[in-house]
Amino acid sequence: MSQISTTRISKELLKFQSTSTLNLVQPTDSLTLFYVDLKVEGNEAVYPPDDIYRLRFIIHPEYPFKPPQVQFITTDQHTTKPYKIPMHPHIYSNGHICLNILYDGWTPANTLHTVALSVQSMLSGNSVNARPEGDKSYCSSAPLNPLHSKWVFDDDKV
C-alpha cells in the first residue's frame, strides 16, 4: 500500500469516532481490512432498532484512486457473532450492494466514512422489505468480489 493510501486511511478512520450509529472495527493492524457495524434509526417498519449490520471494506492498494470492495457480511473470522444481510431492493442476499458510488461512480473524493453513511442513508430511506429482482439468479453466479460484477444503475427511487 502506498504512503498516500496509508496517510489518507489513517485520517479517514478518525471520522468514525464522531458517529454513534457507525462503529468502526479494525480487526488487525493492517490498513487493508475494516468492518463497519451500522444501525438504522427511524425506520423500524423495515429494520428492527436492535439489529446491527456489518459492512466489510477491503481496501484496494491504489485507494483512494480505486474503490474499496464493500459488501454486507453475515460472519467473519474475527467474531462468532452472526449478522444479517439487510433487506433492500438494492442489496442482494450475498451482501452485494448495487450503489453507484461503490463502482462506476467512485471518485477519490469519497471516503470510507461517506460510503458507510451513504449505505446507512440508503437503508434509512427504504420502505420496501424485499430483495432485488433476480436476487437468486444473481447470487448463484455472482463473483465473490462485487467489483467484478457488471452493474446497471437505473433505479434511484428506492
pLDDT tens digits for range 3-38: 999 999 999 998 898 888 899 998 888 899 999 999
Pick the catalytic residue: 85, 98, 102, 115?
98
CA distances from 81 to 21, 84, 92, 132 (A): 18, 10, 21, 26
Q: Does 60 score more than 70 pLDDT?
A: yes
Three-class DSSP category at 19: coil
How deeply is 16 buried, as exposed, middle or buried, from its count of CB atoms within 10 A (0-12, 13-18, 19+)? Answer: middle
Its pTM stands at 0.92
Question: Following CA atoms 64, 60, 35, 28 in sequence, which dihedral angle do they give, to the nearest 10 degrees?
Answer: -110
14-18, 62-66, 128-132: least confidently modelled range: 14-18
Q: Where are the domains of the chain?
A: 3-148
Task: Give the pLDDT band (50/70/90) at residue 158.
Answer: low
Catalytic (active site) residue 98: yes
Q: Residue count of the chain, please give it.
A: 158
CATH topology of domain 3-148: Ubiquitin Conjugating Enzyme (3.10.110)
Per-residue pLDDT averaged across 76-82, rounded?
87
Does residue 145 have a pLDDT over 60? yes
